[in-house]
Amino acid sequence: MERQFQIGVAGFALVVAAVALAGQRPRAAPEQAAGQARPDLVKLASISTTNRHSIDYRALDERLRRMAEKPTMVGLAVGIVEGGRITFLNGYGETLADSGEKVTPQTVFRWASVSKGVAGTMAAKLAEEGKLDFGAPIARYAPTLKLPGGNEQRATLGDVLSHRLGLYRNAYDDKLEAGESPSLIRQMYASLASLCAPGTCWSYQNIAFDSSSEAIARVAGKPYQQVVANRLFRPLGMTSASVTREGLERSPSWARPHTVGRRPLELSDAYYRVPAAGGVNSNIKDMALWMIAQMGGMPEVLDKKVLDQIHAPLVATPNELGRLRKFRERLDQPYYGYGWRSYVYAGHRIIGHRGGVNGYRSLILFDPQLRSGVVALWNSNTSQPGGLEFEVMDMLYGLPFRDWMELDQGGVAPVGTIASVEEVNSGGDTRG
């Protein structure tokens, strides 16, 4: 029965993906007739059972069903890629608690801080075209950002994208959540004391990081949301992806936010106002396509030079080992690049990011050499599903099973209500 259900989901995803892509106007193949679907994207958007090699999908599906039944869960969507092809897409639970509306692979969620990789990628594409310079002062591109001691003249665009501005962690996120303008908040930073000189220490940011959206919009001559839609989402076939609250709410199926106690929350637009830091929405299929592109599977859109730049281990983040101590037997060498994290996991280099806004959580993690990885989206404040990524990586590497999702330990991982775009580890602590 389980296998039949998975194949049904695969067929459903294939049909929906093909129909959704059929209206795309191709960018990489201009000789195609207008309105004709790009065969490469139709293929990548469908499930390939022939690429299933390392993962026990029946066992994984059973564990995900158990996860979805936890009292802290509402809805969950998961996608897996092996060998550069989607091998699993499934939804669990509901879009709204007790509504009966099921999560499917077409249900749209928020990416939260996983959005930062979109900003890093778009900036690198523009740098490759000579329109942005990662080594140039951020003041050249984002005049609203004012740093202590005039450091906006010293801090670079690269420092913005790698969280090396010398500000304290998540500076003035509370002001953003209280409704203040991001551009005004960025000017307030001038009155703060610096933790260090720009480029010399790492401290996670949201509002300051979003000065990258100002830079991208300025050189492209269009709003940030439009630039990433035209230059990234559409060419990659990400037909559900958007960077606005309206984009989420107009989706035919979208997941509502919830507390850890399954109480519905009001949808906040605070982090849509810093779109580079936390504004992206999509369904799980499109998130899987994004991961394939980040693995090098769509070089006509994202070439190796761009990917090597954004994924490079730029700045060490050793405190990450403390926050991820639960996985310490596997995990080592945490670094941050341009909107992306990287680690060594059981001897393998992996790349990813996590995210959380109030009522939503997200993750992406992949091995670029194997061209394999996992994406997940869920709509409550629990962090317990975060262990999923490491259970998948263990299967990919043939490692002994560990109950990283803590399904068999008689309890629930600690959780918290988080109202800012911060990465979240499986223990529930927020982090930068």
Model confidence pLDDT, tens digit, residues 384-412? 999 999 999 999 999 999 999 999 975 44
**Using CA atoms, how far apart are residues 267 and 250, in angstroms rounded to an integer?**
13
Q: Give the model's pLDDT for residue 125.
A: 98
The residues near 230 (Cβ < 8 Å, ≥ 6 apart) are: 222
* Residue 297 identity (one-letter amino acid): G
Residue 422 has pLDDT above 60, yes or no: no
The alpha-helical segments, DSSP class H, found in 88-155 are: 116-128
Residue 203: per-residue pLDDT: 98
211-220 vs 116-128: helix crossing angle, rounded to 10? 40
CA distance 24 to 234: 8
Can you name the residues that pair with 341 across neighbouring β-strands? 336, 352
What contacts 221, CB < 8 A, 6 or more positions away?
Answer: none
CA 190/CA 153 separation, integer angstroms: 12
Give the tokens for residue 197.
Answer: 């000189």
Residue 127: what are its φ and ψ, rounded to 5°? -65, -40
pLDDT at residue 230 in the model: 98
Cβ neighbour number for residue 316 with a 10 Å cutoff = 12
Asked whether residue 421 carries a pLDDT value surpassing 60, the answer given is no
Q: pLDDT band at residue 38, thresholds of 50, 70 and 90?
A: confident
For residue 204, the one-letter residue type is Y
Q: How confident is the model at residue 323 (pLDDT cuts 50, 70, 90)?
A: confident
Residue 226 has pLDDT above 80, yes or no: yes
Contact 421, 206 (CB under 8 A): yes
- Number of Cβ atoms within 10 Å of the Cβ of 331: 19
User: What's the pLDDT tens digit per position in 46-87?
Assistant: 999 999 999 999 999 999 999 999 999 999 999 999 999 999
Average pLDDT over residues 138-163: 98
* pLDDT at position 137 over 70: yes
| pLDDT (tens digit per residue) in 324-343 | 999 999 999 999 999 999 99
pLDDT over 70 percentage in the chain: 86
Give the C-alpha separation, 327 to 219, whole Å.
41
CB of 256 closer than 8 Å to CB of 360: no
**Which pLDDT score is estimated for 36?**
60
User: 298, 293, 365, 297: which is closest to 331 by C-alpha?
Assistant: 365
The reported pTM is 0.89
Confidence of residue 40 (pLDDT cuts 50, 70, 90): confident
Retrieve residue 134's tokens: 């990662």
Query: What is the arithmetic mean of pLDDT over 140-158?
Result: 98
Contacts 24+ apart (CB under 8 A), 340-343: 340/116, 340/117, 340/120, 340/310, 340/311, 341/317, 342/311, 342/313
Calpha distance 263→229 (Å, rounded)? 33
Q: Quick one: residue 87, left, alpha or beta (phi over 0 = left, psi -120 to 50 = alpha)?
A: alpha
Residue 166 or residue 12, greater confidence: 166
Residue 13, φ and ψ in degrees, nearest 5: -65, -40
Tell me the per-residue pLDDT of 5-25, one tens digit each, with 9 for 90 and over: 343 444 434 434 443 433 343
CA 427 – CA 324 distance, rounded (Å): 8
Write the CB contacts of 241 (distance below 8 Å, at least 6 apart in sequence).
Answer: 229, 233, 247, 280, 281, 282, 286, 290
Assess contact for 160 and 338: CB atoms under 8 A: no
Q: How much is the average pLDDT of 195-213? A: 98
313 phi-psi bin (left φ>0, alpha ψ -120 to 50, beta other): beta
39 — pLDDT class (breaks 50, 70, 90): confident
Q: Which residue carries 């509402």 as its tokens?
A: 74
